[in-house]
Amino acid sequence: MAKMKPSSSSRVGVSKATLIGDVVGSCDAVDRRALHRDVTAALAAVADDATEAPAFTVGDEFQGTYPTVGMAIGAALSIRLALSPVVDVRFGIGWGPATVLDPDTGIQDGPAWWAAREAIEWTATAQRRPGLALVRTSYRTADPAGPAPDPINAALICRDHMLGSLDERSIRILRGLVHNRSKKELADEEGISASAVSQRAGRDGLDLIVTASQYLSDIR
């Protein structure tokens, strides 16, 4: 069962996108309080579009809900980029009915949460396979009318591999591009030419990641 903050928009049995995130290797963190603060700040940045804002539940796991699968995928990317490369996070996204069991405590249950749990467990297992070591996001659905998982997961796997292959500078540039900042502005911050940013964006597939992420975020 998931424990969420109560929301007036929560209704019994309504399909929604559920997001479960978990910090990878959190037990090895030197300063766990700082880790918690950084993740909390990243979650706050993606709270506005949420049905129930993502928040820590138990340990280093956090949960939230969104109106669409695309919005949950977009939130997962924003969280990951905000924390990368210092903090590594994996995600499970589900779609389906969710039931509020206790309005006072916000405890929820239902197929949407089971789907997200299945997804994040698959993600954790996939990371242990050499060919899928960079996978960080997976999606499952419990609603036949919801977005089909296979094409979404195909896109997520490829995007995760590209994201996991970036160096720190490319991650910073990608973070800016995702938030619609210009390459000239990012070049000035990095102390390099706009041409160098454009070359890096082409070489590392940053523009491709941005475009793919826009398509994924539009999934209803």
Query: What pLDDT sits at residue 1?
Result: 54
Query: What pLDDT sits at residue 31?
Result: 83
Query: What pLDDT sits at residue 8?
Result: 41
Query: What pLDDT sits at residue 25?
Result: 77
Residue 124: which domain range? 2-147
Query: What pLDDT sits at residue 4?
Result: 59
Q: Is residue 179 part of a domain?
A: no
With a cut of 50, list the residues of the chain below it in pLDDT: 5-11
Which is nearest to 70 in space by CA: 150, 32, 16, 121? 16
Per 3-state DSSP, the chain is made up of helix, strand and coil in percentages (nearest 5) of: 50, 20, 30
Q: Is residue 58 part of a domain?
A: yes
CATH number at residue 65: 3.30.70.1230
Overall number of domains in the chain: 1
Q: Is residue 45 part of a domain?
A: yes
